[in-house]
A and B are shown apart, each in its own frame.
Chain A
Amino acid sequence: MATLEIRDLHVNVLTDDAPKEILRGVDLTIAGNETHAIMGPNGSGKSTLAYSLAGHPKYQVTSGTVTLDGEDVLAMTVDERARAGLFLAMQYPVEVPGVSTSNFLRTAATAVRGQAPAIRTWVKEVNAAMADLEIDPVFSERSVNEGFSGGEKKRHEILQLALLKPKIAVLDETDSGLDVDALRIVSDGVNRYKAASAEAGEAVGIMLITHYTRILRYITPDRVHVFAGGRVVESGGPELAEELETNGYVRFTGVGAGA
């Protein structure tokens, strides 16, 4: 079972002016078959954590370590991280004009699996995964994310989760902007992949980054972490999410934060 270990991670974001420190000593361990919800107010650094793990060039790690099963993730290029089993479902998936979704999915699967999937089983696999997420088959021939609605983009991210079969999945505000139906479809997709990966003996570890507790009604977390000021300030079980639902983040951002 995979383990992602984040130790004392400090990250600067590169801006036009001076670099600005966003992450200030993140400690977090996510093992396979566990779902960790990372909750925090806007601007607390949740997305920076997600992008830093994926290796976005805008974010600069100044100290700390990240390992996946003991391997140094920070030493890997962006594509190496993905091939090592790390997946980031993005909050704002990028449009790639001219590249068809089907070609993109197959190229990505080929890269991650180390060989091209056999055509016949691949087509079946893609069609089944698209049907699960209620994605219209016409999307295969459309350019990646081009002209997709917000909900379609999010479903497309979860489609990639199902096809690329990562060991650790980071879902960055996958719930934001979704209506109830889309939220259910996307959540079902995540749960389905989690179950399938467990069945295959390589249960996925999930880092679910969210601002709201709403998605936690569909995806049950094992652990909940409150993120504020660039680090984890409190950890607990699902009951912590309930407290946030009732009281909001004020205890962590207002007077008495860090107390």
Chain B
Amino acid sequence: MATGALDLEAGTQSGQPTGQHGLTAHSHGGEGLASQHPGERQSPGTQVRSGVAADHPVTTGKEEAWRFTPLRRLRGLHDDAPLDGVPLTVSATAPDGVTVSELTGAAAREIRGVSGYLPTERVEARAFESAPRSVLVDVPAQTELTEPVRIALVGQAGEAATANHLLIRIGAQATAQVVLTSTGSATLTDIVEIVVGEGAHATVAVLGEWSSDTVAVSRHHIQVGRDATVKHVALAFGGDLTRLYTSVDYTGPGGDAELLGLYFADEGQHLEHRLMVRHTAPHCRSNVLYKGALQGKSAHTVWVGDVAIERTAEGTDTYELNRNLLLTRGARADSVPNLEIETGEIVGAGHASATGRFDDEQLFYLLSRGIPEATARRLVVRGFFGEVLQRIGVPVLVERATEIIEQELAVTGA
């Protein structure tokens, strides 16, 4: 940590699970004042915000935001690997009233950054300035969709790097679900901007089913409008290395963001999720729930959840939780929640993190009741992920995620 100290950070790793059952939790009530800067990378005003790659130094790995990421596996995405690979193919299934379009040139440049987003990392700026096109998903104001908009992204390029930019615009008072699925082989830096208009109800879900050689560095930015409700769902299963940094800003009071995540890392995989929820507007809510399972040698997951409550954000209510389940030895889960509070006038703020092992004693107990090993393992993992799956609210996605989890468990040979 840049400033360290205080009791606002809890990190857990595979070597020392925080007890199988305990959570390390801290709650911060309305009284008193605590302040911590989660790291210079995300403190407003101190970081570089620019859509020009040259404005950002090359990432060295010493930065707080990169300390868990194995840069040598990024194939130069963070540096200057040419982004000349074959672009992702994009196909869309959209209900009536929704437009999905591909923009290039000036039209594409025009929509980049409309969510208030500007790249804070070189790897993002490279996508921002060089993505061969932008995909725009437009749900007009007051549209009420009953079926999700489905966007399928398919990687074509393997080792040759490419970039992508997507803007999802949910108009005021609209109700919509947007599901992005990622498959195929890619070396990718991509940006997804999500603008949710006043009073809208939006769900944006990403399902990462990349092939095992994929390296993908993604940035999602969500702008939550006044009284809007947003659910963002990140499901990560595939790829050699995937990293998703999701940030949330509120443009007015009454905004509500629910950030759900579920990941399952196998042998050698690196799956990383970072979150930054910045409360600037009063009376907004945020709730973060990420759960991950790991199995196999060198399976590695990283979860870093930052929440900042600024002086202007009175009446904020926020909670974040990350739990990890180590199914085998040799896997490692890093989990770091951070909370920065600059006003005491809040409803609530808390966070918790725990990493536990599905250990031999639990297995023995279930077996000793006649339950076969494969069933025992499923029982534990299903129970673990159930809490996240129940909150997703997109049946087609829950079904697919459940299927993948079953397949992952078959891999264990359980």
Contacts and interface: CB of A to CB of B under 8 A. Distances in A.
Contacts of B386: 98
A54 B363 CA distance: 13
Contacts of A54: 364, 368
B409 to A, nearest CB: 14
Given A54-B368, A56-B364, A94-B362, A79 B373 contact: yes
B360 A82 contact: no
B384 A111 contact: no
B366 A96 contact: yes
A146 B368 CA distance: 18
B384 A160 contact: no
Contacts of B1: none
B380 A96 contact: yes
A95 B369 contact: no
Interface of A: 54-57, 77-79, 81-83, 88, 90, 93-100, 103-104, 107-108, 111-112, 143-144, 146-147, 160, 164
Interface in B380-394: 380, 383-384, 386
B383 A99 contact: yes
B370 A98 contact: no
Rank and list the top 8 A-B pairs by shortest CB-CB distance, nearest first: A98-B383, A82-B370, A108-B369, A94-B365, A78-B367, A111-B370, A112-B370, A98-B384
Contacts of B375: 107, 111
Contacts of B373: 79
Contacts of A83: 370
A146 B23 CA distance: 13
Contact of B371 (A56, A98, A107, A146): A107
Nearest to A105: B369
Nearest to A144: B365
Contacts of A79: 367-373
Interface string B345-376: 00000000000100011101111111111010
Given A97-B20, A98-B386, A99-B380, A111 B371 contact: yes
B402 to A, nearest CB: 15
Contacts of A100: 383
Greatest chain A CB density within 10 A among B356, B362, B384 is at B362
Contacts of B370: 79, 82-83, 108, 111-112, 164
17 contacts: A56-B364, A57-B360, A79-B369, A79-B371, A79-B373, A90-B365, A94-B362, A94-B365, A96-B366, A97-B384, A98-B380, A108-B371, A111-B371, A111-B372, A146-B21, A147-B21, A164-B370
Greatest chain A CB density within 10 A among B365, B369, B379 is at B369
Nearest to B383: A98
B203 to A, nearest CB: 25
A90 B369 CA distance: 11
A215 to B, nearest CB: 22
Interface in B251-304: none
A103 B379 CA distance: 8
Nearest to A77: B367
Interface string B20-31: 110000000000
B224 to A, nearest CB: 31
Greatest chain B CB density within 10 A among A56, A97, A107, A146 is at A97
B368 A82 contact: yes
A111 B21 contact: no
Contact of A164 (B360, B365, B369): B369
Given A79-B371, A97-B21, A98-B384, 12 more contacts: A54-B364, A78-B364, A82-B368, A90-B365, A94-B365, A95-B362, A96-B365, A99-B383, A103-B379, A108-B369, A111-B372, A164-B369
B391 to A, nearest CB: 15
A78 B369 CA distance: 9
A95 B21 contact: yes
A111 B383 contact: no
Contacts of A143: 383
B368 A93 contact: no
A112 B379 contact: no
Contacts of A112: 369-370
A107 to B, nearest CB: 6
Contacts of B372: 79, 111
Contacts of B21: 95, 97, 146-147
A79 B370 CA distance: 4
Contacts of B380: 96, 98-99
B380 to A, nearest CB: 6
A54 B371 CA distance: 13
A186 B293 CA distance: 37
A107 B364 contact: no
Nearest to B378: A107
Nearest to A97: B21
Contacts of A144: 365
Contacts of B369: 79, 82, 104, 108, 111-112, 160, 164
Contacts of A97: 20-21, 356, 383-384
Greatest chain A CB density within 10 A among B364, B368, B380, B386 is at B368
A88 B364 CA distance: 11
Interface in B13-46: 20-21
A65 to B, nearest CB: 20
